[in-house]
Structures are given as structure tokens and as C-alpha cells.
Structure 1
Amino acid sequence: MENVQGYKLSGFPFENLVKVKDLLYYDGPLLSHFIDEVEETHYFYLWVDYNEEFNRWLIFRVDEYDLVEYLVGIEPLQGLIWKNKNEFLYIVDIDADVNYYNPTIVRASDLPNSYIPDEFSYFNSPIPEIYESLLATLKAKRNLNTEYVDALRNNAVFLKITPKSKKHSTVVSTYDASDFLRDISNSYLGFAEAKFAKDFFKVYESFDKFESAKKQVLSQVEPKLVQVGISSFAIGVASDFLSDNSNKSEFLWKKSIANEYKEQIINIDYSSDVELENIKDKFTDKERQLIFKPLIRIFKNKRFDLSITDYHFSDKRKIKVMPTKAETILLAQKQITEKERQEAAFELVTIIVEKPINESAEKLSKKSLQEGFLFSQPTKGFEYIFESIDYKDDIIYLKKPLRVRVTYENKVYTISIPELDIRLTTSQKEELLPLMKKELYQRISYLLITNTPLSELEINQSQFIQDYLNL
């Protein structure tokens, strides 16, 4: 057994302690919890060494609060030992008949390295039932509330960076840590934005409402640090899906986004042509830039290695350096020719044509348009006139035309009626009239039928509508 520097005692001071529970066990107890029932103090017995005659135990005091933090996985066993660095710890050798030999007072700083658990020595077993009342008491006494963080941790992705150079052991510089946090956050948010667009774009009835929902959800899924490890810099990253769960589909989406990011972006084989093709099919050029540009900076960093870990930051898989081929494919952008650019560009044009009085403009043939054409000019917008509003199986007739302003800019149509505080946007011209008809019908129905007291703004809107209706 190791030689330990310390002060030998004439007797063992803890013979009257009562065992509460063996917390770690493998062919015999490895870590046991004892209590002094008179002083109401807690002690851990940690098995650290042995020879043919004895098992050696390290004994140290544990505060109630630290005991709970160890049991719920917040504090590692190593941390509990170092919290006693200004107090005495005890070493004792125990034989098969439970006789105590060589009781010794030691300081934490004098312990052999082999006696100190590693930095990832977290308790990862189910919490024994015997501790339920203690947990409840301390939560009430110390306002200890781990449910929120625990829920986020259960849906987190755990990553670690380790320096390639061991000049400073496994300590990571603050610059590398901050660069890593910035890049992983930007990549994560880029993925969340792309996935939200694919999953929810068609759910919202207007582009404005989609953009508003996207902005709100992205602020909620902004990555949160739910676990941090030092030495090697390790983090647990998750999205807050609990603060707003009013929308069930969005709640489930936010809950799964961290795991989706891990499985679809981090935990894939970038040397596989099949995986790269899947990514190209799944994301647009712009989306890939947002997701992979910061991620590639992490992969290419020559100062540290990246690993996927578990909850306690034990390595599960080291991420390989991304092949140059993969980087080229992921960041490639389609080159648009001048011809394609011109063909893709649109503008609104006002056209003046002659037409027979009894012929509908919508039914004019291409030939009639060409023959009746007088002149045209570019325009930023135009007015559309509603003489009635039909929606589903109903129709509302207006006593005078209602003029609606339509503008077109950056490939987005905007429809607006300032007097009703209506502003709708869409990139699809086919959606222009259906969107406006739906919004007008619903606004009119609400203002005329509701029994809820109207605000001053709504009263003005109601008066505006009544000017157009046959009431």
C-alpha cells in the first residue's frame, strides 16, 4: 500500500458511526455513507487501497448540502474531498474482522494521487429511497430546485474540447473556450432556424406571422449551458423548452432540437458521400453556411480535439478532423450565371392596354394583350379594389369599393390597409388574394359580432368597416 504522510492516532475516533448506505459497490463496498447520530454529521468512507491483510479507507466529513449535490449528479466525489482541504481527513486500515489499525490524520494535499477520484467521479446510479426525505427537507430548507436544470440536461448535447498540447496538462485557454462557445452556439442556432423553417413554414397563414413566430422560438432555443466541466473544457448544451409550453407542437420541437442537432450535425461521418448528399438535400446553400461554417472552424482548430461525451463528460466518441472534400461540398454555393440572375429578377409593371368594354381583363388572350398594348412603366406597387369579400361559403358585399395597397420588393409581396392595421406578406403571388380575403373576413366578423369591449383602436376600425358595409 502507499505510504501516507500524516499524524498517527492512538485510537480510531469514529467507531460509533452508523452506516446509512453503501453508495458504490463492486465485489464489496467502495463508497459508504455513515452518520454520527449524536452530532448529526455525515461521513464518507472511500476505499482507496489494500494488501493481503487490510483494506484501507479514506474517511472525510460531508456537508448535508454537498451530500445532496453528489447524489443528484451536480458535484463529483473529487470535489467533496477538495472541499475538506482546510480540514483533516482520516486514513484507517481495517482487517477482515473489522478491527481498526493505523488511524492517521492527513490533509487532502498530502494524499497520494491514486487515492483521489478523477474529475468525472459523479454519482450516476438511481438515488436510493432512503434519501428521499433528506432531499425534500433540504429543498425546503435551502431552496434547492434541480428539476428545471435536470429536465434540460436530459435533453442536452454534451461536448468536450481537450488541448492537443499537454504543456498545461488538460487546461483549456479562455480564448479557445470562448471561440468554441461562440462557434457551437452559432452553428446550433443556424440548424434551429433551418429546421424551424422546414417544420413550421406552412403552419402559419402569412409570412409575417411565420417570421414573428420564428423570432420568438429562436430566442427561446438559444443554447443554454446546463453543465460545465473545467480542466478539459466540457459543456452540456440544451434549449429552454419549459418557459413557454403553450403550443404543444412547438414545445415538443424545442425539447428535441438539441438531440436533433447532435444526431444530424455532430454525430455523423463526414467522410461518407451518402451523408454529405443527405445534408445537401436537406439544407439550402445559405442554411449550410450558417450551420457548418462555424462548425468547421471548430473541427479545423489545431489547438484542441473535440469529443462527444455523456452527462458526466466521459468520452463517448472523438470527432475526427473533417475531410477537405466534405468542407468543400458543405460550403459550396451554386454559381448563378448572369442569364439566370436576369431570369430570376422580377419587377412590377403597370401595363395600359385597349380592351373591349364587355370583355373581362382577366380573360384577355395573349394576342389581345399584344394587339391592345399601348405602354408600360415600372411601379413599386398598385391598388387592388374589393367590391365584395368571399371567404369559404360566405360573401360580404360592400357598398363602396375598398382599396388595398400591394407592394413588391425583394421578392416579397406586402398587402396593407393602414386604417385596419393590416399588413400581410408573402412570397407567393397566388396567396395574395386568399390571404387578404381571409384577414378581412375575420376582422370584420370579429369587430361586428364580438361582445368583448373594444379598445379605442378597435372602435375606430369598426367605424371604418361600417362605412363600407350595407348595414
Structure 2
Amino acid sequence: MLNLNGSPLKSLPITGLTWERDLLYFDGPLLSEFRASNKEKYLKYWCDCNESYNRWMYFRIKEEDRLRLVLGELSLLECIKNKSTSFVFFVDENEIKSEYQLVNLSEIPNDYLPETDAYLNIDEYIEDSNVASLVFEDNWKFDDLKEVYKKLTQIYDFIFVAKKQLGTSGGMPWQDGFSVMHFYNKLKDMIPRPSKSYLEAIHYASPGYMKINVDSEIANVTFEAINKYKNEKKIIDQIYSDLYTRIKTLDLNNISLTNAITEFSKDTDCQQYYKLLVQKLYCVESAWLDKFANTDFERSKILMAHTRRLKSFLNFIEDGRIRVVTSEIENN
């Protein structure tokens, strides 16, 4: 192994290191992610070996860099050079003992640095438990970031209630915007407190990230629903447009609610478009929807509201403004 120009240490000065996941593996881990007791993230990178030791480099990684690393947007070399500290730790270890050194970035041997094109390609990456992470660039207006958060959590809330088959809508007129607002507030109230979505962290400056507390299982289904919509966007948008136009033609939003419900149930076009929307939207079972809402008019309005949110959130992804740290969605 190469000689290091560093300062010997008695131990690794990082408390409570806990393994999170292996990021590179070949007959054993080559790059692993750890969490310290202060919640900072560290990477452990294999560098060298001899007949007695394996040599590893430990370095702290900023969260915005970690997220871009696993998305394949930032190279491992850039993560090392972008460190907030000017040093790394080298550990020579075997099954019996370990030896430690602190080494300045400028003193790391070139042979121990990854290639400039060393990007990760992790198809089955699983983010931290009960966390959904988004990354974004440029300078966002705070209201725009609020809209991203709002749309994603509303999709999540709907998927949670649909997947768990909770509650009932309570019956709302759905002939104005207030019904939509009250509907999503009601959904959030149905979700048990430990599974409610809330903003856990946000790094506003570019490059930025947002971390949202979620139920991991439902978050995965949520991202699957977004991806399913993406794959059939043209068809679903056309069904939505046809249903919207038919409701407008029949003036169902401006007549009495009783008449709107009756006209919708009798109109063959409304019924056809509504049933097609049920078939195309992921994680929506007609049996649950029949119990959840009282009329086809209300059910169709619920699905239309959900479709609009899928469309809005996907627009953020497709224009490249945000990326989701998940293997469920193909980011642009």
C-alpha cells in the first residue's frame, strides 16, 4: 500500500457510525453509506489492500451531494472535492485491529481517487426509511416550492386513503373550488399521525433538496402511480378532457346538485369517460370508490382532481426542475 502523508489517530473521531446501505459491491462492498450519531452522512470507499489490511477512505458527504450521487448526477470524485471539510480519514483494518490517519484533501494519492467519470448507476436504490427526497436546481420562488410540496403530498394522501381503503368523502357538492380544498384537508385528517406527510427538511439554495416524512410503502405506491400516469399520459389526459368537456356541455357545475347528479348518472358519455378514468388511474379500485363516495358525479370529480395533481407534479419532473430520489420514476 502507498505511504500516506497524514496524522496518526488513536481512533476514528466519528461517533455512532451506523451502516445504511452499500452503494458499490463486487465480491464485497466497495462503497458504503453510513450515518453518524449527529445524523451526518459518511461514505466509506475502498482504496487499497495488502496481505494484512484493507485500506478505506471515510469522508463526510453533504446531503445535497449524496442525493445527486445516487441519482447519477454527481461523480464520486466531485463528492470528495465538494466536501465541507478539508480532510478525510483513512483506516487500515483487518479482523483484529485498525489503524487510523487524518489526511488533507491535497495529500490524497491520485491512485486513491476515483476516476472523473465514476458515476453511480443504482437501479434499485431505496431512500432512507419513511423519507421522500426531491432535488432541484436554480433559484426557486418559495411559493413554487410550496406548490411542489402541496401537489406531491396531496397525491400521497389520496393514495394512502385509497390503498388503505379508509373513511368516506362525507359528500361535497364538487361544483366549486372549495370542495377540492376541503376534500384534501379531509383526506389528511383520515391518515394516522405516524403516517402523515410533513416537511422534514429543505435546503433552499441551489443546489437544493426537500425531504418529506412519509410512509415508505405508500410513498413507493405514490411514485408508481405518478410513473403509471407518465406512461399513459396521453390517453389519461384525453379521457380527462372528454369528461371535463361533457360536464361543461351539460352545465353540471351550474345547475342544482340534485339535477347534476341525476344528469351525470343518465348520460352515457359521462359514464363511459368516468369508468375509463377509473380503469386507467393506478391504485384506484371501483369497489372502494363506490363505498368512499355516494354518487358517480362526486366520484368523477374526485378522480379529476387527482388527475390534475398527477399532471402538475409530473410537469415539474418533465421540465427537469425537480428529480425524485427513487427508482420508481424515470427522472429526466
- Fold conserved between structures, TM > 0.5: no
Higher relative contact order (CA closer than 8 Å, sequence separation 6+): 2
Bigger strand share:
1
Q: TM-score, normalised by structure 1?
A: 0.29
